[in-house]
Amino acid sequence: MFRLTLRPLKQNRAIWGTRRYAKGSALGIDASVENNLQTETNRVSKTLQKFWKVVSARESGGNVTLTLDNKPIRTPLGNSLTVPKDRQFLALVLQNEWSNLTTLSIKPHTLPVTSIVSRCIDLEYVSTPNADGELVAKIGGDRKQIAQTLLRYLDTDTLLCLSPKAEYEGALRAAQDKLYLPVIKSAETFLSKFAEEPVAIQVLDADIHGMRGNSQLEPTRAAALKYIDSLSMWDLAVFEKTVLTTKSFICGLLLLQNKCQVPKTEMPITMEQIAQCATLEIIYQTERWGEVEDTHDVDHRDIRRNVNAACIVAYQE
Amino acid sequence: MSSNQQLLVVYKQLIRSLVKSNKRSKIAQITEDNKKQVALLTYRKFNLLRQQASDQASSNSSKHNGHLSELTNEIERLKANDPARSKALHYYENSSSLREMIFQNFPGDAGSVNKRLQHLKDISGFVKNQMEYEELVERYNPGLKMDQEEKVKRTAARVGLQVPDL
């Protein structure tokens, strides 16, 4: 992941205090290892300075490379920030993102799309059979490990934990039933394609199960693992980002299904709906208790910008 | 509404959100550039003045006057320049390539058109939410965008002191 997310800002916190942002707790990334490769992304994250004048997109051989003053932007591992030409909208968004930086505005959250794309490119780079083991460890690029960690999100998926009927006069539960149940059903159907028999997803119903953890049955886990293994490295990085943002395996599934090549999907859903699914409980909480400044309003945008950034990276025609 | 019209509507919406979100950073960039330019010109002006002073000793003083007033005017102009009124704020510079992307190699079937429409909406959703997020973070953390000079000034002001003007 983009180094920016791993480094605290050197600022006088005591007086002009900043909110502590979630560190890039990303899967398997060892934040203790400093990456000192001299690449553009590392430089911008370490100095927080703008060191270029012109951002442009250079086309060559079916690819588009983003450049700063005619030199390619490089990801933390030193690969150039290049996307296939059929992802032209992505290239445009990347260019827009870089051309809107100013020295004082460079912060860990200002390059969300670049951050995902860098992860995609670097993951692809370290997934080649003779990749340097140290580099793999540096960016947490072990595919098996990523899959295992992501799989845990299916146990405690946001969409699988249903509230008691007594809360909010049953309104929250009714909304959950309406939004989640069809999605869970279609996820079951979808995952069944990766197993010999239809799989069932365990739901944690607070009225029946009370307070306990949730875990999926072995066949479901196997099918989900098979699904993760079927993803390209690029899609895996997008999937990872979505799952981490929404705390939901199923949301990741939905996003990829709606944005990858095939136009037809069994579970059509908009990105706004995905964001709503992931924050349904908060919607009811703020409705009743009011919004907390600097928390709910910021998080509302945060989840949407992240989900939309992920979908821009995933999109293929 | 035909799919072409729909695309046009979504395209306009996307351009609007891009222009709106880029506005802030453009203003900041122009301000930053102006500041740098002013510093550079002021430096040149001082050099000229110094040279003039040393030339005066050898009695050919008025040689630099024209150049000097040119520099002064330029500095004044830059200082008076209000970045918020720049015309560059009202358009998106890559709009032609964006238009090309959207309207050329137009997908044939309704499914793909819908997918593209939806995606364009998602892009403007991203641009909008990213902008609002940054604005909020900035509003709640006013120290984030201050430069060192400003921070020192305010820190001193907290204890009733003033930083001398240099």
Q: Which amino acid is at A138?
A: K
Per-residue confidence (pLDDT) for residue A8, from 0 to 100: 36
SS3 A1: coil
Burial class of residue A251 (count of CB atoms within 10 Å of its CB; 0-12, 13-18, 19+) = buried
- Give the pLDDT band (50/70/90) at residue A32: very low
* Backbone dihedral angles phi then psi of residue A75, each to the nearest 5 degrees: -75, 170
Count of C-beta atoms within a 10 Å radius of residue A44: 24
- The more confidently predicted of residues A58 and B88 is A58
For residue A80, which amino acid is it?
Answer: S
Instruction: Please say whether the beta carbons of A108 and A21 come within 8 A.
Output: yes
Homologous superfamily (CATH) of A145-315 is ATP12 ATPase (1.10.3580.10)
Instruction: Kindly report, residue by residue over A150-179, the tens digit of the pLDDT.
Output: 999 999 999 999 999 999 999 999 999 999
- Beta-carbon separation of A95 and B94 below 8 A: yes
Does B62 score more than 60 pLDDT?
A: yes
B152: contact with A, CB 8 A cutoff: no
Does B148 reside within a domain? yes
Residues spanned by the domain of B48:
3-157
Nearest CB to B101 within list A12, A89, A297: A89
> What is the reported pLDDT for A14?
38
On chain A, the residues whose CB falls within 8 A of the CB of B108 are none
In this chain, the answer to whether the domains covering A9-140 and A145-315 adopt an identical fold is: no
Q: What is the pLDDT of residues B131-161, one digit of tens each?
A: 999 999 989 988 888 888 889 999 999 999 9
H or E element, residue A4: none
pLDDT tens track for A252-296: 999 999 888 665 677 888 999 999 999 999 999 999 999 999 999
DSSP states of A119-188 as a string? HHHHHHHHTSTT--HHHHHHTT--HHHHHHHHHHHHHT-GGGEEPPTTGGGGHHHHHHHHHHHHHHHHHH
The answer on pLDDT for A26 being more than 50 is: no
Tell me whether residue B61 is in a domain.
Answer: yes
Does B37 map to a domain?
Answer: yes
Dump the DSSP string for A270-293.
-HHHHHHHHTHHHHHHHHHH-PPT
Whether residue B162 lies inside any domain: the answer is no
Q: What is the pLDDT of residue A302?
A: 95
Cβ <8 Å between B29 and A301 = no
User: Which pLDDT does position B104 carry in this prediction?
Assistant: 76
Domain count along chain B: 1
pLDDT at res. B28: 86
Asked if A312 contacts A113 with a C-beta cutoff of 8 angstroms, the reply is: yes
Å between A104 CA and nearest CA of chain B: 5
Q: CA end-to-end span of chain A, whole Å?
A: 26
Both structure tokens of A231 = 């993803």
Helix, strand or coil, per DSSP, at residue A269:
coil
Per-residue pLDDT, A312 = 95
DSSP A84: E
Chain B residue with CA closest to A262: the answer is B112
CA atoms of A62 and A86, how far apart (whole Å): 8
Contact: A16, B141; criterion CB under 8 Å: yes
Whether B163 shows a pLDDT value over 70: the answer reads yes
- Which A residues, 8 through 67, put their C-beta within 8 Å of a C-beta on chain B? 11-12, 15-19
| Residue B163 domain-assigned (yes or no) | no
**Side chain identity at A276, as an amino acid letter?**
Q
β-partners of residue A68 are A55, A71
Q: Does B87 touch chain A (CB under 8 A)?
A: no
Q: Which of A11, A12, A13, A16 to mutate to test the interface with B (most CBs of B within 10 A)?
A: A16
pTM of the entire structure?
A: 0.85
Strand runs (DSSP E) across B11-165, as ranges?
none
Map out the domains of chain A as residue ranges: 9-140, 145-315
Packed helices A143-155 and A249-259: angle between N→C axes, nearest 10 degrees: 110
Q: Please report, in angstroms and rounded to a whole number, the separation of the first and last CA atoms in chain B.
A: 64
* pLDDT above 80 for A189: yes
Chain B residues 116-145 with CB within 8 Å of chain A:
116, 118-120, 122-123, 125-127, 129-130, 132-134, 136-137, 140-145
pLDDT over threshold 70, residue A31 = no
Angle between helices B3-57 and B95-103 (to 10 degrees): 160
Of B111, B125, B146, the CB nearest to A271: B125
Give the whole-angstrom CA distance, residue A95 versus residue A111: 11
State the pLDDT at residue B107.
66
Which residue in A has a C-alpha nearest to residue B150's C-alpha?
A16
Q: Quick check: A160 and A202 in contact, CB under 8 A?
A: yes
For residue A35, what pLDDT is reported? 67
Residue B90 to residues B79, B94, B98: CA-CA distances in angstroms? 22, 13, 16
Closest CA to A125 of A144, A112, A138: A138
Buried b (16+ CB within 10 A) or exposed e, B101-116: bbeeeeeeeeeebebb
CA angle A98-A103-A104, nearest 5°? 115
The mean per-residue pLDDT over the stretch B45-50 comes to 89
CA-based nearest residue to A96, from B21, B102, B11: B21
Report which of residues A155 and A13 the model is more confident about.
A155
What pLDDT sits at residue A147?
Answer: 94
Tell me the mean pLDDT in the region B72-90: 86
When mean pLDDT is compared across A67-76, A232-241, A283-292, the lowest value belongs to A67-76
Computed over every residue of chain A, the mean pLDDT equals: 84
Distance, in Å, from the CA atom of A254 to the CA atom of A268, rounded to the nearest integer, reads 8
Chain segment A75-115, per-residue pLDDT in tens: 888 899 999 988 989 999 999 999 888 877 788 788 999 99
Contact call for A305 and B130, based on CB within 8 A: yes
Among B115, B147, B158, select the one facing A104 at the smallest CB separation. Answer: B147
Q: Does B153 touch chain A (CB under 8 A)?
A: no
Q: A311 and A259 in contact (C-beta within 8 Å)?
A: yes
B94, two tokens: 């890559």
With CB atoms and an 8 Å threshold, state whether B137 touches A297. Answer: no
- The DSSP bridge partners found for residue A161 are A204
Q: How confident is the model at residue B122 (pLDDT cuts 50, 70, 90)?
A: very high
Q: Is the pLDDT of residue A308 over 50?
A: yes
Confidence (pLDDT) at A34 = 54
Fold of A9-140: ATP12-like (3.30.2180)
pLDDT at site B9: 92
Q: What is the pLDDT of residue B63?
A: 66
Does position A13 have pLDDT exceeding 70, yes or no? no
Chain A CB contacts of B136 under 8 Å are 294, 297-298, 301
- Do A82 and A63 meet the contact criterion of CB atoms below 8 Å apart? yes
Query: Please, which pLDDT band fits residue A7 given cuts at 50, 70 and 90?
Result: very low
For chain A, give the percent of residues with pLDDT over 70.
Answer: 87
